[in-house]
């Protein structure tokens, strides 16, 4: 993220890492290309005391509850926040109490706060709602994010369970570590934007199992082992499945693509062959959101109530 921010023309005012092996070092030692005069602080208060940042990019946790304290510190210092915290992207369904607390802290500090990223934040929520703009009626929204994980980072391949046998996969599924966090938030975001009230939501997660040996990933995968995950989130209203979000990421997947289908008037489908690399795109969406957040009303915002996020001049207020 630091490298991406520098390449996008952002000035790095400070950095924080709680790891005692990292705090105290020059940021340039950790992230090539970073300015040499920025020393990594051990906590947010220390970093804010040293500089007066226009905005903070918070990429620490997936959990809303875990992010709350960090956002409160930043809000109390008057620093707007863009965070990749998945549960922050649309917390109003899953945990409205914590969302309200964060909202109030941000209003008190006079700053806006946004959870975003490529997914959740963009591909399976913001973008499908924007693609519904030419529709006079929308009956259902279906989104597919299908990825060949062969070329992705090793931690990503591990995160999707590549190489696990069925017992190991089951164990890790129960631990919750295989789960992509964000489908529920994306479904809530779509429903809220389109004016729908979901009366049910369910999510399934199963392995994509190799039927031939696969050598495309970071380690060989034998037949019968998982080569990735298939996770589907389904939102219901009055017995109908009106939102279907399919996330499939596997080593050796024959094709990668993004696909959004809207049933309604008119019916339409958009497709991006090759898909969008999540590592680059998460950095991009997050950094590109900064200028929309700088011009937003104070409070906990979503991608739906700030100016449309696009590529644009770094950090310049819209």
Q: Which stretch binds a second copy (CB under 8 A): 48-56, 98-106, 158-166, 277-285?
A: 277-285
Indicate whether 304 belongs to the interface with a second copy (CB under 8 A): yes
If DSSP states are collapsed to H, E and C, what string results for the chain?
Answer: CHHHHHHCCCCCCCEECCCCCCCCCEHHHHCCCCCCCCEEECCHHHHHHHCCCCCEEECCCCCHHHHHHHHHHHHHCCCCEEECCHHHCCCCCCCHHHHHHHHHHHHHHCCEEEECCCCCCCCCCHHHHHHCCCCCEEEEEEEEEEEEHHHCCHHHHHHCCCCCCHHHHHHHHHHCCCCCCCHHHHHHHHHHHHCCCCCEEEEEEEEEECCCCECCCCCCECCCCEEEEEEEEEEEECCEEEEEEEEEEECCCCCCEEEEEEEEECCEEEEEECCCCHHHHHHHHHHHCHHHHHCCCCEEECCCCCCCCCCCCCCCCC
Cβ proximity to a second copy, 202 vs 316, nearer residue = 316
Indicate whether 32 belongs to the interface with a second copy (CB under 8 A): no
Which of 118, 146, 221, 293 is the binder for a second copy (CB under 8 A)? 118
Indicate whether 276 belongs to the interface with a second copy (CB under 8 A): yes
Which of 2, 4, 16, 242 is the binder for a second copy (CB under 8 A)? 4
Which of positions 135-194 make contact with a second copy (CB under 8 A)? Answer: 135-138, 193-194
Indicate whether 247 belongs to the interface with a second copy (CB under 8 A): no
Cβ proximity to a second copy, 48 vs 284, nearer residue = 284
Indicate whether 269 belongs to the interface with a second copy (CB under 8 A): yes
Which of 28, 92, 93, 312 is the binder for a second copy (CB under 8 A)? 312
- Report the interface residues with a second copy, using CB under 8 A: 4, 7-8, 118, 122-123, 126-127, 129-138, 193-195, 258, 264-266, 268-274, 276-277, 280-281, 283-285, 287-289, 303-313, 316, 318
């Amino acid at each position: 993220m630091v490298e991406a921010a520098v390449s996008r023309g952002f000035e790095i005012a400070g950095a924080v890492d709680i790891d005692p092996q990292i705090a105290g070092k020059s940021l340039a030692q950790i992230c090539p290309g970073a300015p040499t005069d920025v020393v990594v602080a051990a906590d947010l208060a220390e970093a804010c005391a040293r500089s007066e940042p226009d905005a903070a990019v918070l990429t620490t946790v997936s959990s809303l509850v875990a992010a709350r304290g960090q956002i409160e510190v930043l809000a109390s210092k008057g620093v707007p926040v863009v965070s990749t915290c998945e549960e922050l992207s649309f917390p109003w369904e899953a945990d409205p109490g914590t969302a309200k607390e964060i909202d109030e802290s941000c209003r008190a500090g006079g700053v806006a706060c946004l959870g975003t990223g490529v997914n959740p934040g963009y591909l399976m929520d913001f973008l499908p709602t924007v693609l519904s703009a030419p529709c006079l009626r929308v009956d259902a929204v279906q989104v597919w994010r299908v990825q060949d994980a062969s070329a992705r980072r090793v931690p990503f391949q591990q995160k999707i369970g590549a190489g696990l046998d069925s017992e190991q996969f089951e164990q890790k599924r129960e631990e919750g570590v295989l789960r992509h966090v964000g489908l529920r938030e994306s479904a809530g975001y779509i429903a809220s934007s389109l004016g729908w009230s979901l009366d049910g939501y369910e999510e399934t997660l199963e392995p994509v199992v190799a039927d031939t040996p696969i050598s495309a990933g970071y380690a060989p995968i034998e037949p019968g082992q998982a080569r990735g995950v298939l996770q589907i989130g389904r939102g219901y209203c009055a017995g109908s499945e009106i939102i279907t979000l399919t996330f499939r990421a596997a080593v050796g997947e024959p094709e990668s693509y993004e696909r959004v289908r809207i049933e309604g008037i008119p019916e339409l489908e958009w497709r991006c062959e090759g898909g969008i690399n999540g590592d680059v795109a998460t950095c991009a969406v997050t950094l590109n959101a900064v200028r929309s957040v700088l011009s937003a009303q104070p409070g906990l915002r979503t991608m739906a109530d700030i100016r449309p996020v696009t590529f644009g001049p770094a950090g310049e207020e819209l």
